[in-house]
Chains A and B, each alone.
Chain A
Amino acid sequence: MFGWTGKILRVNLTTGAISKENADPTMLAEFIGARGLATRLFCNEVDANVDAFSPDNKLIFSPGPFTGTFAPSGGRYHVVTKSPLTGGLAGANSGGSFGPELKYAGYDALIVEGKAERPVYLWIKDDVVEIRDASALWGKWVPETTELVRKATDEEAKVACIGPAGENRVLIAAIMNEMSRAAGRGGVGAVMGSKNLKAVAVVGSKPIKVADPKGFEAAVIKGRELLKAHPVGGAGLKAYGTDVLVNILNETGALPTRNFQDGFFPTANKVGGESLAAEILTRAKGCFSCYISCGRATKVSSGKFKGEGEGPEYEAAWSMGPDCGIDNLQAIAKTNYLCNELGIDSISMGATVACAMDLFQAGYLTSKDTGGMDLSFGNADTLVELTRMTGLREGLGDQLALGSYRFAELYGHPEFSMTVKKQEIPAYDPRGVQGIGLQYATCNRGGCHVKGYTIAVEVLGNGAKLDPRTTKDKPYWVKLFQDLTAAIDASGGCIFGTFGMGGDEYAAMISTLTGVTYTTEDYLRAGERIWNLERQFNLRAGLTKADDALPVRLTTQPIRTGPAKGELSHVPEMLPEYYALRGWDAEGRPTPERLTQLHLV
């Protein structure tokens, strides 16, 4: 086998059974790996109506064929499970080095089933796999967990683990690797906690073979050149990180402010990438095989927000910044470090606090409810404290741990939750940027930007330059981004590779690596196949067309100030065209024709 290892590792935590099976070559070819392979395996084996915290739910970790090779920025892995937050499929993607190590140990996927009686961790060293007692680790935060697991296994082991948040089944809990890299969204950390699985440690020494070494190397060199030549992939992301987006979104008038009350935040510059670089950046970091180095090693040296680690990225800086009416970069950095250390999704954490602040401002959440805490917009101390409390499920944090939708529901006003399918919407106001709103509404994992990142063409002018304010052709672009992203996710690639490389380059790399020929069309079709498979699961789980909708605020309350003042989202107008392009019926269900075309019948 080339690119792939051809082996799947299965661990049953209830029975303690550990087995290895051969991966089906047809399945690999059709679903590529990572997100695709994990989703195919998951949908084959798990009933869509399973309770997310039941032992019958499974947790699948899967790297892609690129992972562990020098495909530029191609070292990622995906986690798939039933989401306790959305009730649909959760798929979270992470970088760092864990994915490559799992490949070197010899696995295209790790399927975790059942539930351990007591806390355990997995120790995988090539063919030798052990389930070990983790009672001494339970309760430990992510950095300490990582260090202790390494001490007990191998000091260079790559460790994916949960912090207290996952242990406490916080619905927005993440799985962390290399301490600051997150498989963040959808509550995947809570599922891991529900299985009493504290960590997975891996060391691998096996080779990944290449079908056409000269061809692959040439394709990779070309990819690297394209990345280097691109202003973003080549220099911009390394100099300023993703947080550079704060100012451009604000100047476009689409920076969601105070829980989407508005789209413009006058002091946004204080928390943007330029300020980050000047004030807290130590150096750039890159994930395994990364050619872009967007990671931020940062440090707040003194004061009450003192800390060290990675980030904040744009999403975290937004959710903990403008979304909460906060412009204190140090407080944001501290909150982000806490999210990494406790193992919490940085987008959903900030956005959930923002929702609580909105309810507090409206008087639906009172000082009595908050135990005297002041949840006014702009209160940075409160944000930091609530984050800690959420991870540990203390006080109000016990309720915030449910995510903003269930929290707002508790206080009688779910319409204050800026979510789709109960997952928090990220950092682009869909009233100011029409296409991303359609992505939010239709993304299989709920409110999400990255699986269909039309911001690249609607705001950033990467390749095409679309007008963000119009709906024209947006359904076409949303579908294209969704399909291409699914294929890249399945390959183990980082989406930032698209700032330079395109479908042609990816198809060339995957073909020369695996020996299976993909045209650009084949590659996109694999992505479309994965997208439809996810959709089918969600439909079986009970999600319907009604869930392909934004919060009412965004289609009825215009942006109040700034360059996009007066704008509303027009997602409902775009939905029919989107369904038609997808080959779905008017209820958003894939037609038999489309499923046949995609080999999904």
Chain B
Amino acid sequence: MSRVLMIHPDKCTGCHNCSLACGFAHEGQFRPTATRIHVYTWDQEGFSVPLMCQQCDDASCANVCPTNALHRVKGQALVEYDRTKCIGCRMCVIACPFGSAAYDALTESILKCDTCAGDPACVRACPTAAIEFVDDSVATRGRKKAFATKLKAVFEEG
């Protein structure tokens, strides 16, 4: 059992409080490119999605990293980044299928979500609980229940 960052795009209002909190938590200032979480908004339709590192079990970034700077610690749901081993080759940036590993020229390092030592700043900052840090066993409970409710309505009518 481990905790995962669960996204609920239907609750996202596009406010960016998550990315503001992320950057601030890591640097104590507001630098837009320092955030490890990005929010994509479609203006006309009013739909927003926050995206961050998915901490993949079989992480492409860790697989291509030549120095093991990016590595998965067994038993933990976190792909860790050891800055001291990083050579800045940016193979991870190429490898990640979600685009969630970014190279930051200012700090000469890779930016990717580190779940803030178990207390993610984005989760605390989100006003609508569009991001949750939950046990993986219950992460999709809300979705399943919402859909099950629809089926219930259909069967009760018939």
Do A and B come from the same complex?
Answer: yes
State the A residues within 8 Å of B (CB): 68-70, 97, 100, 104, 143, 146, 178-180, 204-210, 213, 217, 224, 228, 238, 282-293, 295, 297-298, 308-310
B86-130: contact bitstring with A at CB < 8 Å (1 yes, 0 no)?
000000000000000000000000000000000000000101100
CB-CB < 8 A to B31: which residues of A? 205-208
CB contact under 8 A between A70 and B20, given known A293-B13, A293-B127 = yes
Whether the Cβ atoms of A293 and B30 lie closer than 8 Å is no
CB contact under 8 A between A297 and B47, given known A206-B31, A207-B30 = yes
Interface: B6 (CB within 8 A) = no
Task: Say how far A207's CB is from chain B's closest CB, in angstroms.
Answer: 4
State the B residues within 8 Å of A (CB): 10, 13-17, 20-21, 24, 27-34, 41, 43-48, 125, 127-128
A213 to B26, CA, bound (A): 12
Whether the Cβ atoms of A204 and B20 lie closer than 8 Å is no
Q: List 12 A-B contacts (CB under 8 A).
A: A69-B30, A70-B24, A179-B44, A204-B32, A209-B29, A213-B29, A283-B10, A283-B13, A286-B15, A290-B15, A291-B15, A295-B46
**Within the complex, which residue of A70, A179, A213, A310 is in contact with B125, where a contact is CB–CB below 8 Å?**
A70
Task: Say how far B110's CB is from chain A's closest CB, in angstroms.
Answer: 17
- List 5 tightest A-B contacts by C-beta distance, closest first: A297-B46, A286-B15, A286-B13, A207-B31, A70-B20
Inter-chain pairs besides A69-B20, A295-B46, 19 sampled, C-beta below 8 Å: A179-B44, A205-B33, A208-B31, A213-B28, A283-B13, A283-B46, A283-B47, A284-B128, A285-B13, A287-B15, A288-B15, A288-B16, A289-B16, A291-B15, A293-B15, A295-B13, A308-B44, A309-B44, A309-B46
A309 to B43, CA, bound (A): 8
A415 to B66, CA, bound (A): 79
Whether the Cβ atoms of A284 and B16 lie closer than 8 Å is no
CB-CB < 8 A to A210: which residues of B? 28-30
A132 to B32, CA, bound (A): 25
Whether the Cβ atoms of A97 and B46 lie closer than 8 Å is no
CB contact under 8 A between A207 and B20, given known A179-B44, A286-B14, A297-B47 = no
CB-CB < 8 A to B17: which residues of A? 70, 289-291
CB-CB < 8 A to A238: which residues of B? 128
CB-CB < 8 A to A285: which residues of B? 13-14, 46, 48
Whether the Cβ atoms of A104 and B43 lie closer than 8 Å is no
A187 to B30, CA, bound (A): 33
A293 to B16, CA, bound (A): 12
Whether the Cβ atoms of A178 and B43 lie closer than 8 Å is yes
CB-CB < 8 A to B29: which residues of A? 207-210, 213
CB-CB < 8 A to B27: which residues of A? 207
Q: Which residue of A lies closest to B38 (CB)?
A: A156
A204 to B16, CA, bound (A): 15
A61 to B75, CA, bound (A): 52
CB-CB < 8 A to B34: which residues of A? 207
A97 to B14, CA, bound (A): 10
Whether the Cβ atoms of B13 and A290 lie closer than 8 Å is yes
A494 to B29, CA, bound (A): 21
Q: Which residue of B lies closest to A309 (CB)?
A: B44
Q: Which residue of B lies closest to A290 (CB)?
A: B15
A205 to B32, CA, bound (A): 6
A286 to B33, CA, bound (A): 21
Task: Say how far B16's CB is from chain A's closest CB, in angstroms.
Answer: 5
**Best-surrounded residue of B15, B33, B48 (most CB of chain A within 10 A):** B15
CB-CB < 8 A to B46: which residues of A? 282-283, 285, 295, 297-298, 309-310
Task: Say how far A484's CB is from chain B's closest CB, in angstroms.
Answer: 23
Whether the Cβ atoms of A217 and B24 lie closer than 8 Å is yes
Task: Say how far B47's CB is from chain A's closest CB, in angstroms.
Answer: 7
**Best-surrounded residue of B17, B44, B47 (most CB of chain A within 10 A):** B44
Task: Say how far B97's CB is from chain A's closest CB, in angstroms.
Answer: 20
Q: Which residue of A lies closest to B10 (CB)?
A: A283
Q: Which residue of B lies closest to A217 (CB)?
A: B24
**Best-surrounded residue of A292, A293, A308 (most CB of chain B within 10 A):** A293
A287 to B20, CA, bound (A): 13
Whether the Cβ atoms of A97 and B16 lie closer than 8 Å is yes
CB contact under 8 A between A208 and B15, given known A69-B20, A70-B20, A70-B24 = no
A29 to B15, CA, bound (A): 28
Whether the Cβ atoms of B43 and A146 lie closer than 8 Å is yes
Q: Which residue of A lies closest to B127 (CB)?
A: A291
